[in-house]
Amino acid sequence: MRIVYTLLALLIAVAASAQQNPQYSQYIFNSMGINPAYTGSKNVLNVNAFHRAQWTGIDGAPTTQALSVDGISANNTLGLGLALTRDQIGAQSTISAYANLAVKLPVSANGVLSFGIAPGLVQTRIDGNELGIEDDPAIPAEPMNNIKPDVKIGAYFHTQRFYAGISVSDLLQYNDMDQIEPERHYYFTTGYVMDLGPFVKLKPSVLLKEDFNAPTAIDLNAFVLLADRLWLGSSYRTSMNLFNNTPEMAGMRKRTAVAFIGELMVHKSLRLGYAYDKMLNGLDSFNTHEISVGYYFFRKNDTKMLTPQYF
């Protein structure tokens, strides 16, 4: 059984070279990791942490931890933030640190347009000893480390009820044949909040992820907000050949999953979230769990703020 898990871990590592960026489900509550222009959009000092254990029960399955901090300048024109992420897939681990800056421009009575940039450093480490295979000359005896700079950019528009954003990650490309190079990823997301009654709101949203080398990843989300305290909803994740309609891509269109997500506002400062992902393909017997904790630090002069935040 150990060799089966080892081979499966190798397959996961190969699959990671195609996706490359960490996958997580609760981005709908904090999108700074996807779009640097989101930085400071909550108008208070915001701390968010999460842990994701993907495909539990498989040796070498992906795990991700992240910590982000963002806030707004005194004149409410600049969003400043820091994002730290650790991603482990089999023998490969990636640690990244990004400094986020967003310029906020009021464009209407309720609308704000932001432009963001996030320079950072990414360390990739491959440790052949994690595979449990000895005496194979193709596997390095010593861990291999590589550190490279990276940049993300994005734009984000939002009102109190609507948002839309577009962003690009992995802008810097090196064409290094000795390392697994991350593909440049493009993101588009949009959503809207509507009233269903005095204590119920509905929030549909969508996320498109594209690298133009594989089928487009699509998340379709729908959430209800109960009494301004409890979010409950689901995401359906699938792939479509929007830009790569070739026969060899046909099998990849079936990479589907569903996530059940909830977030509770314990009080106006503290929020707790949980997501349960279920694959709808050959990995359906292995489940994914994700937990998140967020905290708002209010200033004394904070008198007007949405609680909870819709976006």
Q: CA of 288: how far to CAs of 136, 177, 183, 223, 294, in Å?
A: 32, 32, 24, 20, 20
15 within some domain: no
Q: Which residue has the higher pLDDT, 6 or 159?
A: 159
Confidence band for 17, pLDDT divided at 50, 70 and 90: very low
Taking residue 110's Cβ as centre, other Cβ atoms within 10 Å add up to 11
CATH of the domain at 238: 2.40.160.60
pLDDT at 8: 43
Please write the tens of the pLDDT for every residue from 183-192: 889 999 999 9
Q: How far apart are CA 181 and CA 208, in angstroms?
A: 21
188 within some domain: yes
Confidence band for 131, pLDDT divided at 50, 70 and 90: low
**Domain extent for 181:** 25-297
- Residue 61 in this model has a pLDDT that exceeds 70: yes
pTM assigned to the model: 0.85
| 257 and 279 Cβ atoms separated by less than 8 Å | yes
- Residue 253 in this model has a pLDDT that exceeds 70: no
9 within some domain: no
257 within some domain: yes
Taking residue 46's Cβ as centre, other Cβ atoms within 10 Å add up to 23
Domains contained in the chain, number: 1
Question: What average pLDDT does this structure show over 76-99?
Answer: 92
pLDDT at 303: 46
Confidence band for 194, pLDDT divided at 50, 70 and 90: very high
- Residue 257 in this model has a pLDDT that exceeds 60: yes
Give backbone dihedrals phi and psi of 38, rounded to 5 degrees, phi first. -70, -20
pLDDT at 1: 38
- Residue 180 in this model has a pLDDT that exceeds 80: no
